[in-house]
């Protein structure tokens, strides 16, 4: 399953940046995009302004976003549950002796 191809099929060619959360099922957060944009980590050609609104150009943005993706880690190895260990007897406490006699 190619996530970029799926997003290209679902996203409109140009969309309001603040709608990226909803449009991507919250896979891409607009706040994070804005932070990366302000640090110039995302190319400016991914965006265009319409008044005070920031619009995202789908193809340019997805071309950049694809470079940030990497395979997920392997699933963690779940070890078989070990039976509880028997507690050691406390040797510092001396057992009470029965009186002789």
Domain assignment of residue 13, yes or no: yes
Domain assignment of residue 52, yes or no: yes
- Domain span holding position 11: 3-66
Confidence of residue 94 (pLDDT cuts 50, 70, 90): low
Confidence of residue 71 (pLDDT cuts 50, 70, 90): confident
Question: How far, in whole angstroms, is CA 30 from its chain's centroid?
Answer: 14
CA angle 18, 26, 74 (to 5 degrees): 145
CB atoms near residue 54 (< 10 Å)? 17
**pLDDT tens per residue, range 42-69:** 999 999 999 999 999 999 999 999 999 8
Which residues does residue 81 pair with via DSSP β-bridges, in sequence order?
A: none
Domain assignment of residue 89, yes or no: no
Structural domains in the chain (count): 1
Domain assignment of residue 27, yes or no: yes
DSSP string, 59-87: HHHHHHHHTT--PPPPPPPPPPPPPPPPP
Contact 54, 17 (CB under 8 A): yes
pLDDT of residue 19 exceeding 80: yes
């Amino acid at each position: 399953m190619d996530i970029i191809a799926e997003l290209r099929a679902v996203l409109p060619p140009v969309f309001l940046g603040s709608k990226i959360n909803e449009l991507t099922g919250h896979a891409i957060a607009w706040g994070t995009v804005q932070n990366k944009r302000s640090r110039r980590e995302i190319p400016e050609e991914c965006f265009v302004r319409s008044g005070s609104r920031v619009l995202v150009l789908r193809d340019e943005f997805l071309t950049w976003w694809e470079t940030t993706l990497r395979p997920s880690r392997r699933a963690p190895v779940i070890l078989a549950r070990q039976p509880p260990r028997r507690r050691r007897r406390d040797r510092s406490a001396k057992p009470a002796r029965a009186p002789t006699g």
